[in-house]
A = this chain, B = another copy of it.
Amino acid sequence: MVGVSRSFNPRTGEAFGPELPDTTPAELDDVLGAAVAANARWRSAPRAERAELLRAIATSLDADTARLAKLADDETALGVDSLAGEVGRTTFQLRQIADQVDDGSYLGVRVDLASTEPLPVGHPDLRRTRVPIGPVAVYTASNFPFAFGVAGGDTASALGAGCVAVVKAHPAHPQLSEAIAGHISSVLQERGLPAGIVGLVRGFEAGRLLVTDARIAAAAFTGSFAGGRALSELAAKRTEPIPFYGELGSVNPVFVTPQAAGRETLAADYVASLLLRNGQFCTNPSIFVVPAGSGVRQAVSELVAAAPAAPLLAPAVHDLFKKRRSLLAGIAGAQVVSGVPADAAHDWFVPPELVTLTAADVLASIDAVETECFGPVGLLVEYADPGEAVALADRLRGCLVACVHGGENDELGAALVERLALIAGRVVWNGWPTGVAVTAAQHHGGPFPATTDAQHTSVGAEAITRFVRPVAYQSMPSSLLPAELR
C-alpha cells in the first residue's frame, strides 16, 4: 500500500487539497539515477554558474511571496506575515550563499610552494582546495517551511558547493513543497540545466531508503530527536558511512541573575519569545531559570494565564505535544498555569502552559526536563542561591543556544557564560534564543543531542563547508589544477 501526503488545516483539523502519493522505491531509484547523472554536470559547473542559479531561484521565490506565504499558512497556521518574512529570509540566504560561492573563501585554499625547508628533505609543491562531496539528501523541517524547506539553507548550501540535492518533502506542507520545487524546476529548465539537480521525494519509507542508498554522499536533517537519531544511525551503519548533519531539536536554557531579575520587560519578552509560532521554534527558550522570590514567576504566570489558545502545525505535532506536556506537568513538584482554553469552535487549538519547578526538583528529574516539548510550554525554574543556578548549568546537556540575563560585573553571570559555552553552540547575553541571524559569524549547531555533529552549522557562512571535502594536489602542473589553485 502506498501512503499519501495530504494538506491539513491546523485551524480546523480538516484535510484539504490533492492526495499526493508517497514516492515508491522504483520512483526513488529514478530520482537518484537522475541525481547522479546531474551530479557529473553540476560538480564541474563554474562557481559563477552555481551562484547565478541560487540568485535566480531567489528571484523566482521573491516574486511569488504572497501566494507561497498564503499556501504555507493554509498548511501550517504559522501566520501569513511571519511566513512572508521567512520567504525573505530564505531568499536572503540563497543570495548570501551565492556571494560566498563567488568569493570562494569557503574553499579554504592553501598553497605551499616547493621548498628545501624544513631540513633534511623539504617538501614538494602542495595546494589544497575543497571539492563537492556528491549528492546530498536534505530532510526538510515542519516549522520553517521556507528557511529549512525545499529551497532552504541545506539545499542552497549543497547547490552552492557543487552538489546535487534530493529533498524529502515534509508531510506538514506537501503542497508548498511541490510549489517550491516547481520554482526550482522552472529555473533549471530556463537555463537548460538537468532537472535532476534538485529531486523531490515524499514519504517516511523514501526518507529511510534515501539515507541508506549508496548514491547519497551526505545528509542534512532538521527535525525530531527520534527521527534524526534513527537516520543518523542508518548513515553510520552503511557499507560506506556518510556524514549526517542532523539538528535534532534542543532544550535551550535562559538564566536570569538577581541583577537582571527586576527588569521591567523581562517577563513579557520571555513570553513573547516562548510563544513565537506557538512555541514551535527549535531555539525556543525551553527552560527559564530565575531567582526564587524575585517576582519573575508571578509576572510570567499572569501573562501565560492571559494568553490565548492557538493551533499547532500538524496532527503529529499535536499528538507529541500532548504527551510531552503531560510528562513535564507530571514531574514531582511541578505547578502548572494554563492559558485561555480554546472555545468549542476551535477545539484543535491548544492553550499555552507554564510549568514551574524548583532547581532541586529539576535536578531530581533531569531526564524529563531535558526532553524537548515542541509547542507552547514553558518550564520556569526557581533557584534559591547562585550555587544552585551553577549546579543546574553543569547538569544540562548539549543545546543549540543558551542565554544569560545579567548586569555589570555580574559574577554569577560570568560563571554561567563560562559553563554554558561548554554545552551550547551559541551563547547570548541579555537576549533571547529565538531569532538566528544569517551572518558569517553565526553558529547554529551545538553538542549532542542538539545536533549529531557539533562541528558544523546549518546557518551562516560555514554551512556550505558541510558539503565539500579537502583535496591536496602535489607537484601538479598548473593546467591540471582546479582554477582556484593555479
Contacts and interface: CB of A to CB of B under 8 A. Distances in A.
Interface string A109-128: 01110000010110110111
Please classify how large the interface on chain A is, using the bins under 10, 10 to 19, 20 to 34, 35 or more.
Answer: 35 or more
A128 B474 contact: no
B443 A471 contact: yes
B240 A425 contact: no
A441 B127 contact: yes
A472 interface: yes
A232 interface: yes
A475 interface: yes
Contact of A469 (B233, B447, B468): B447
A413 B470 contact: no
Contact of A413 (B428, B437, B480): B480
A480 B111 contact: no
A455 interface: yes
Nearest to A431: B475
Given A133-B454, A426-B471, 19 more contacts: A131-B421, A131-B422, A232-B236, A241-B452, A243-B454, A413-B480, A414-B479, A421-B473, A425-B471, A426-B473, A427-B474, A427-B476, A428-B475, A431-B474, A431-B475, A442-B472, A443-B471, A455-B465, A455-B468
Nearest to A241: B448
Contacts of A82: none
Interface string A426-444: 1111110001011111110
A455 B126 contact: no
A449 interface: yes
A117 B68 CA distance: 25
A106 B145 CA distance: 35
A85 B470 CA distance: 28
12 contacts: A110-B441, A124-B431, A128-B442, A133-B454, A240-B447, A241-B452, A424-B471, A425-B470, A426-B473, A427-B474, A431-B474, A447-B469
B110 A429 contact: no
A460 B465 CA distance: 19
A285 B445 CA distance: 40
A477 interface: yes
A382 interface: no
Given A439-B112, A441-B111, A427 B473 contact: yes
Contacts of A124: 431, 437
A307 B92 CA distance: 64
Given A112-B439, A455-B469, A470-B457, A240 B449 contact: yes
A440 B118 CA distance: 13
B240 A448 contact: yes
B455 A243 contact: yes
A151 to B, nearest CB: 18
A465 B124 CA distance: 24
Contact of A232 (B240, B241, B441): B241
Contacts of A398: 240
A462 interface: yes
Interface string A227-244: 000001100110011010
A282 interface: no
A417 interface: yes
A228 to B, nearest CB: 11
Interface in A235-271: 236-237, 240-241, 243
A405 B409 CA distance: 65
A112 B445 contact: no
Contacts of A443: 128, 470-472
Contacts of A445: 469-470
A339 to B, nearest CB: 27
B470 A429 contact: no
A447 B470 CA distance: 10
Contacts of A296: none
A279 to B, nearest CB: 21
A22 B276 CA distance: 56
A76 to B, nearest CB: 22
A107 to B, nearest CB: 12
Contacts of A131: 421-422
A461 interface: yes
A430 B233 CA distance: 41
A217 B243 CA distance: 18
Interface in A397-433: 397-398, 408, 413-414, 417, 421-422, 424-431
